[in-house]
Amino acid sequence: MGCVAVSNVVPFRRIAPASAAGERDARNRRRSEQRALMDAVYATGSMIVAAEDREIKLTASRLQVYGFLTIEEVAEDGGMRRLRPSEAIRARSERPWRLSKPAFGGAVTIPSLDDFLFESAGQPF
């Protein structure tokens, strides 16, 4: 008689919810907007965002959290005040912003599998 291995370990596999096509399209659109904004800032060195442009400000604040952009608030006298990520995420609409490359020396590269950088919904913790 042969020896039969018996295991009492039961695997509990997480079943990923199937996202709706509309949700997937919206996520891809947001991701392409983030890439386009970052490409524009890196190509020109800096970019001014209008005070009332809330969508661009929210996109920029997401990129700032991960160090891809620096955000400065433009004062009425033309002076600049650097915003912390906690301030920028509120996307205040009173003053325009200046977006620029971060101050460190090397260029930032984005890996091809960057879902975790831009979307937290549906990611395992």
DSSP state of 13: P
Torsion of CA 41, 44, 50, 53, to 10 degrees: -30
The whole-angstrom separation of Cα 111 and Cα 88 is 25
CB atoms within 10 A of CB 70: 19
Question: Given this model, what pLDDT does residue 123 score?
Answer: 46
CA distances from 93 to 31, 97, 99, 123 (A): 23, 9, 15, 31
**pLDDT, one tens digit for every residue, the chain (125 residues):** 556 666 666 666 777 666 667 788 888 888 889 999 999 999 999 999 998 888 899 899 989 988 899 999 998 898 999 998 888 877 667 899 999 998 765 555 555 554 545 555 554 44
Interatomic CA distance for residues 46 and 35, integer angstroms: 15
pLDDT computed for residue 125 by the predictor: 44
Task: Identify any residues that bridge with 74 across adjacent strands, giving them in sequence order.
Answer: 80
